[in-house]
Structure 1
Amino acid sequence: MVDKNKAGQLPVVAVVGRPNVGKSTLFNRLIGRRRAIVSDEPGVTRDRKEGEALLRGHRVRLIDTAGLEEAAPETLFGRMRASSEQGIAQADLVLFCVDARSGIAPADAHFANWLRRQNRPVLLVANKAEGRAGVQGAYDAYSLGLGTPLAVSAEHGEGMADLMSVIAEHLPKHDTVEEEEAVKPLRMAIIGRPNAGKSTLLNALLGEERMITGPEAGLTRDAVSAWLEDENGPIEVVDTAGMRKRARVKAGLESVSVSASIEAMKMAEVVVLVLDADRGIDEQDLQIARLIEREGRACVLALNKWDMVTDRQATRRAISDRIEISLAQMRGIPVVTFSALTGEGVRRLLPTVRRASEVWNARVGTSDLNRWFEDALEKHQPPLVDGRRLKLRYITQVKSRPPTFVVFGTRAEQVPDSYKRYLVNGLRETFHLPGTPIRLQLRGSRNPFVQQDGK
């Protein structure tokens, strides 16, 4: 399993600089949409975030990095800097961002000297250059010795057209990529409580320390995507911030992080719900699973830290029983056990995700469906409502992703929930649709002999 760039050999442009100089705002402006969380609080970006941008007719892969700071390697800021350095090592072009409003800091000069030794083309971007103070700060950036500063205001969009033109001029000569019929990637989101091991899992899948990890809970603050490929094609994986109980979520940055996690889940085809197997499954995990079902996503339950579990059989049975009782609408949900830290069992995850995607995309033939429907009605007739038997005539599948069926019949909309569950369970068992949400709609037919609107 190796990292796979979405667009093949696209040129890579990395945005770097010290904290709170506006790197994420610049990143969002260049790709044309909000992909990175922006906040006045310094150090919000902790992991490298990627996105594709079209700059003057040239497609590039942009990397937003954590702020460059001097720190010991074992500290959080040291790990963030190491991640940024990896992004720079991949780059064909580096945008070194400084804050023109606050002026050139000693850290800017330090990292400018460091960048010169990295043997990478560098463009100096003086951000927040709006107004008289910003213009003066942009001139001060000449002192860094990295050439002419490009004065921009990423927040207000000033100077962005010129910046895009200069970036295009500095791209490598092989930047014209032939448009090919791209294979659509499978979109997969990794969701769960804080400190369940989501980022460690993504690192294990990629085979590199892409995400910042550590004992501190809540390290991931934004939804961060990465690309990998298995034998069946490309997969876009999104790692998300941990989702705590709503009552514990603080306003501001954490609330935005949770919103980004939910948005990533809505965009995914398969959601991997990561649990700390040593702690078991609790109500918050079930709430997240119910949210996945409500959004109609396929789900794989990932029991991480399996190497820490002493009685594996009892743990597996307890989790399975809780799911069977509390998540009846996703009966048969696939479960994978592994240790993201050691890598044991991680290779079983992607094949399981692929199978879950196939079920989510499944379509059942109309003839097979109606043969089953007739048999189901014969085995267990629809109930009486107001002393009259409901007449259900036929069923059809109207869509997949998730599998959605419509039952037609006289007063079909009056079918009670218990009978709907009977039909859904029969569909799941007969047509092998484990673990995926199944939508069942009922549409009654109007009796033409009944007067409408009092006529």
Structure 2
Amino acid sequence: MSEIEFEGETVELSADDDPRGASAASAPLVAIIGRPNVGKSTLFNRLVGRREAIVEDRPGVTRDRLYGVASWEGRHFLVVDTGGVDPSLDTGLPGHIRSQAEVAMEEADLILFVVDAKEGATAVDIDIAAELRRSGKPVMLAANKADSPSRELAAAAMHELGLGEVHAVSAAHGRGVGDFCDALLERLPAATEAQPTPIPPGTRIAFIGRPNAGKSTLVNTLLEEQRVIVSDTPGTTRDPVYLPFRYKDRDLVLTDTAGLRRRKQIARAMEKLAAIKSIRTMERTQVVVLVIDASQGVTDQDQRLARMAFERGKGVVVALHKWDLIRRDGKLAKDTLAYTQEALGFLENPYIIKSSVIGEGRDEGKGRAFNLAELLDACLSTAAALGKRIPTSALNEELQGAVADHSPPMYRAKSVRLYFATQAENEPPLIVISANHGRCLSPAYERYLLRRIRRRWHLRGVPVRLVVRGRGRGNKDRGKERSGKKK
């Protein structure tokens, strides 16, 4: 929960990662609709109490439906932000945006039509208003950017749209938003006083990769619906979208993220924020699916993304997507797989799944899918490895076997003895070994021990950390050992 101010009043607002888990009875849905660049995302952020939607002073920034939860006067309601609608454009990416907005309108209990008080009613606004009147849905009209008394007076001219009372607000500054929320609650259907129920706990799986690698197509196919927009234009997805999903009686949460470019290529503010949001998504997930375009192979940027996830303690599964484009060329397919294994070797033998979605309707989740079940199975196996608890007795048995097969090298002309091993943490696993000298193992021997541990407990694509501590020493001395200081 967070607090913001509406015209001097402190209001408690909430926004869960995927508020669609809230029950419909306790949280009616409000869909924000309007032409491009009227401030829909700014109003969405104001209602949910944090910068969840990307905002920039140029049209077309919001494309996918983005959900949030708001609270006002003890009542809760869902808010969905949509891309800018232009009824005159019905093909290409504008057509996709419009179809997403239509889905949101169909789901909504109330439609919030946002117009620009500064520009007045445009021809596009008039067309949208006509469609809203025909929809039969309850509609509220908000004239945004009314950040002065003169703008508020100008907003009154919006009555010509024929949608009833005009609510003059400034989402950027909070002006008039308190009265607007009071009026909004009066228009919403009766709701219970229960708090919105978050989605059930589940394994969080984030699809991350370069632009246009096929992340959104994979997500839509798994959900069997066009839940996120798919376009040949790189960077179509900008806001991470959290999607509850059930597979083999397991609760999962799928996350589609913005495609990431190298920093020098991220010029506009919206792309910078999208990149940051994707990186932050890694912090909130357990397993990262690195989606690679098989026709292009592993690039430097793919390696950076994989290393970024691995260093953050996440399990990584590799999806060599669009495999259908190269599978008929046996040599190319073989070389691509071999290079992928080599280039991503630091991931420690991750699952590499050769996936494809082909045929008519693939962008809407209706194509023919290949190896997507195997992809989800690999994600579940990786998540299980990430959270694995290794019994101390079995771990010490493996340590004794490793020492018997290959003794540790000398440390400063002194013999090394390894006494005891235990798992201190999981997600990711942390193995602590007690020895007669602190940090006395060479990197090569540590890798040898980790290989044995990984092999025995099938820890594929999971970062496993190893710490060697001097026996019987206090925490202060151990800290000195880590920093290279002498006692």
- Same fold by TM-score, threshold 0.5 exceeded? yes
1:397-416 deviation per Cα after TM superposition (whole angstroms, max 9, x unaligned): 12111112222223332422
Aligned match of 2:22:
7
Q: TM-score, normalised by structure 2?
A: 0.85
* In 2: Cα distance, 1:257 partner to 1:220 partner: 9
> Aligned match of 1:281 in 286, 290, 298?
298
> Aligned match of 1:375 in 387, 401, 406?
401
* In 2: Cα distance, 1:316 partner to 1:358 partner: 30
* In 2: Cα distance, 1:226 partner to 1:330 partner: 26
Change in 2 beyond 3 A, CA 1:425/1:329: farther
Q: 1:315: how far off?
A: 5.0
Change in 2 beyond 3 A, CA 1:134/1:347: farther
State which drifts further: 11-20 or 241-250.
241-250
The question of whether the paired residues in 2 share the 8 Å contact of 1:109 and 1:144 is answered with yes
Change in 2 beyond 3 A, CA 1:184/1:316: farther
Aligned match of 2:265:
248
> Aligned match of 2:168 in 125, 146, 151?
151
Q: 1:91: how far off?
A: 0.8
Q: Secondary structure, in 3 states, of the residue corresponding to 1:126?
A: strand
The Cα RMSD (Å) is: 2.7
Q: Secondary structure, in 3 states, of the residue corresponding to 1:389?
A: coil
Q: 1:218: how far off?
A: 2.1
Q: 1:197: how far off?
A: 1.0
Q: 1:437: how far off?
A: 1.3
* In 1: Cα distance, 2:486 partner to 2:49 partner: 56
| Counterparts of residues 175-254 of structure 1 (less than 5 Å) | 175-177=192-194, 183-254=200-271
Aligned match of 2:82:
65
Q: 1:250: how far off?
A: 2.3
The question of whether the paired residues in 1 share the 8 Å contact of 2:212 and 2:259 is answered with yes
Q: 1:365: how far off?
A: 1.2
1:10-34 deviation per Cα after TM superposition (whole angstroms, max 9, x unaligned): 4221111111111111111211122
* In 1: Cα distance, 2:396 partner to 2:71 partner: 49
> Aligned match of 2:465 in 429, 434, 439?
439
* In 1: Cα distance, 2:88 partner to 2:384 partner: 46
> Aligned match of 2:369 in 344, 362, 365?
344
Change in 2 beyond 3 A, CA 1:57/1:281: same
| Counterparts of residues 416-455 of structure 1 (less than 5 Å) | 416-445=442-471
Change in 2 beyond 3 A, CA 1:298/1:164: farther
The question of whether the paired residues in 1 share the 8 Å contact of 2:19 and 2:68 is answered with no
Please tell me the residue identity of whatever aligns with 1:343. Answer: R
For the pair 1:361 / 2:387, whether they are aligned, the reply is: yes
> Aligned match of 1:167 in 179, 184, 196?
184
Q: 1:312: how far off?
A: 6.5
1:69-107 deviation per Cα after TM superposition (whole angstroms, max 9, x unaligned): 134422221221121111111111111111222322222
The question of whether the paired residues in 2 share the 8 Å contact of 1:71 and 1:78 is answered with no
Please tell me the residue identity of whatever aligns with 2:187. Answer: H
* In 1: Cα distance, 2:310 partner to 2:319 partner: 16
Q: 1:391: how far off?
A: 2.9
Please tell me the residue identity of whatever aligns with 2:369. Answer: E
For the pair 1:116 / 2:141, whether they are aligned, the reply is: no
Change in 2 beyond 3 A, CA 1:35/1:388: same
1:380-434 deviation per Cα after TM superposition (whole angstroms, max 9, x unaligned): 2222122112333222212111112222223332422111211211111111211
* In 1: Cα distance, 2:192 partner to 2:486 partner: 71
Please tell me the residue identity of whatever aligns with 2:107. Answer: Q
> Aligned match of 1:105 in 118, 122, 130?
122
Change in 2 beyond 3 A, CA 1:4/1:59: closer
> Aligned match of 2:432 in 396, 400, 406?
406
Q: 1:67: how far off?
A: 0.4
Aligned match of 1:261:
278
Q: 1:333: how far off?
A: 0.9
The question of whether the paired residues in 1 share the 8 Å contact of 2:38 and 2:114 is answered with yes
* In 2: Cα distance, 1:374 partner to 1:19 partner: 66
For the pair 1:85 / 2:102, whether they are aligned, the reply is: yes
1:43-84 deviation per Cα after TM superposition (whole angstroms, max 9, x unaligned): 101111122333333333321100011344222212211211
* In 2: Cα distance, 1:12 partner to 1:417 partner: 56
Change in 2 beyond 3 A, CA 1:312/1:296: farther
Please tell me the residue identity of whatever aligns with 1:21. Answer: V
* In 2: Cα distance, 1:185 partner to 1:153 partner: 38
Q: 1:264: how far off?
A: 1.4
Aligned match of 1:46:
63
The question of whether the paired residues in 1 share the 8 Å contact of 2:110 and 2:138 is answered with yes
Aligned residue pairs total 451
Q: 1:314: how far off?
A: 4.3
State which drifts further: 157-166 or 282-291.
157-166
State which drifts further: 177-186 or 156-165.
177-186
Change in 2 beyond 3 A, CA 1:187/1:294: same
Please tell me the residue identity of whatever aligns with 2:425. Answer: K
The question of whether the paired residues in 2 share the 8 Å contact of 1:151 and 1:159 is answered with yes
Please tell me the residue identity of whatever aligns with 2:400. Answer: E
Structure 1 unaligned spans of 5+:
none
Please tell me the residue identity of whatever aligns with 2:129. Answer: A
Change in 2 beyond 3 A, CA 1:167/1:289: same
Change in 2 beyond 3 A, CA 1:304/1:323: closer
Change in 2 beyond 3 A, CA 1:66/1:193: same
Please tell me the residue identity of whatever aligns with 2:125. Answer: D
Change in 2 beyond 3 A, CA 1:391/1:153: farther
The question of whether the paired residues in 1 share the 8 Å contact of 2:21 and 2:198 is answered with no
Q: 1:262: how far off?
A: 1.0
Q: 1:352: how far off?
A: 2.6
For the pair 1:142 / 2:159, whether they are aligned, the reply is: yes
